[in-house]
Amino acid sequence: MKIKNQYIIFLFAISSISSCAQTRLANTLQKDKITEAEYKSDSNFKYSYFIAGSFSFIDVDVLDNIYLITANNQLKKLKPNGDSVAVFNDVKKFGNPSSIDVSNPLKTLLYYKNYSTVVILDRFLSVRNTINFRKENIFKAKTIATSYDNNIWLFDEQDFKLKKISDDGKLLSETTDWRQIFDDVPSPTEMIDCDGAVYLHDIEKGFYVFDYYGSLKNNLPFINWQHASIARNKITGFVDNTFQNYELQTLNLKTYTLPVFFKDYKDIKAMNGKIYLLKETGLEVYTIL
């Protein structure tokens, strides 16, 4: 009985702490006559807006359209102001997608690695085609991306080649075996076609930059970058408690310490001068100053 009473007291204390924290925030806002946006902003990040809901995935395209997977496994595409553009209801047809590529606003790729299958959606998230890479004897493609000419890049880890596949699943081109190029072959987890090059990201080795003919042009040894993005001549990512912003033209690297109000996020994305913070209650959007 004594243990039970102590447990009840403990639960009450935890509840009181949470209630007190909310009360302190409300009192702070009222006392100092500041808005929540001002409270959640600092010299580097300015609070912009919030989209309420329970989501498990966030991505953003170059036009600031937002892509979210809901608690009931719908893929939603929203305008920058939060208005709905389209919904795709069959996200889990092949289980959970291992990656989703939205680099082309007119074309979304849902990739299911365990099935070597990609589902191609149009700008309204209607199915255009489904490709099984196994028909081209590709069984171990870890990551894919939309190419500049509206085809599909993939890295085949079975024969260590970067390949381009058409929308109907035909092999268009491939590089030489990477084992002839590298002493230690990269294992990219992300791939992005941007600004005239193909970027392959290996978290432990950095970014490998290829031209459209498959020739290696550069290696950027930014290691341990999480949630990497490339757009508008910038590579961004998150390392520990910092946000990294690398300018491809000026070669300037800026490091920002993440503020305390960024904590407890489920997912994070930097794109087009904004940071999208996915939390339990919804999506917080911040402008990078």
pLDDT tens-place string over residues 54-113? 999 999 999 999 999 999 999 999 998 889 999 999 999 899 999 999 999 999 999 999
pLDDT band at 40 (very low <50, low <70, confident <90, very high): confident
Q: CATH number of the domain at 134, please.
A: 2.120.10.30
Which distant-in-sequence residues (6+ apart) come within 8 Å of 264 by Cβ? 279, 280
Q: What is the pLDDT of residue 120?
A: 97
Regarding whether 6 and 53 lie in a shared domain, the answer is no
Q: How many CA atoms lie within 13 A of 101 on its CB side?
A: 26
Regarding whether 192 and 51 lie in a shared domain, the answer is yes
Regarding whether 40 and 15 lie in a shared domain, the answer is no
pLDDT band at 12 (very low <50, low <70, confident <90, very high): very low
pLDDT at 286 over 70: yes
Range of the structural domain that residue 18 is part of:
1-33
Paired with 130 in beta bridges are 119
How many Cβ atoms sit within 10 Å of the Cβ of residue 222? 18
Regarding whether 166 and 60 lie in a shared domain, the answer is yes
Q: What is the pLDDT of residue 81?
A: 85
Q: Tell me the per-residue pLDDT of 150-206, one tens digit each, with 9 for 90 and over.
A: 999 999 999 999 999 998 889 999 999 999 989 899 999 999 999 899 999 999 999
**Greater pLDDT, 1 or 274:** 274
Q: Which region among 19-23, 134-138, 263-267 has the lowest average model confidence (pLDDT)?
A: 19-23
If one counts the domains in the chain, the total is 2
Parallel, antiparallel or unpaired: strands 107-112 and 99-104:
antiparallel
Regarding whether 164 and 279 lie in a shared domain, the answer is yes
Regarding whether 79 and 6 lie in a shared domain, the answer is no
pLDDT band at 142 (very low <50, low <70, confident <90, very high): confident
How many Cβ atoms sit within 10 Å of the Cβ of residue 6? 10
Regarding whether 80 and 50 lie in a shared domain, the answer is yes
Regarding whether 151 and 10 lie in a shared domain, the answer is no
Q: What is the pLDDT of residue 42?
A: 81
Regarding whether 171 and 127 lie in a shared domain, the answer is yes
* Torsion 280-222-259-16 (CA) sign: positive
Q: What is the pLDDT of residue 10?
A: 38
Alpha-carbon distances of 69 from 57, 72, 98, 154, 207, rounded to whole Å: 5, 8, 13, 23, 28
Regarding whether 88 and 5 lie in a shared domain, the answer is no
Regarding whether 247 and 186 lie in a shared domain, the answer is yes
d(CA 157, CA 141) in angstroms, rounded, equals 6
pLDDT at 18 over 50: no
Q: What is the pLDDT of residue 136?
A: 87
Regarding whether 199 and 225 lie in a shared domain, the answer is yes
pLDDT at 20 over 90: no
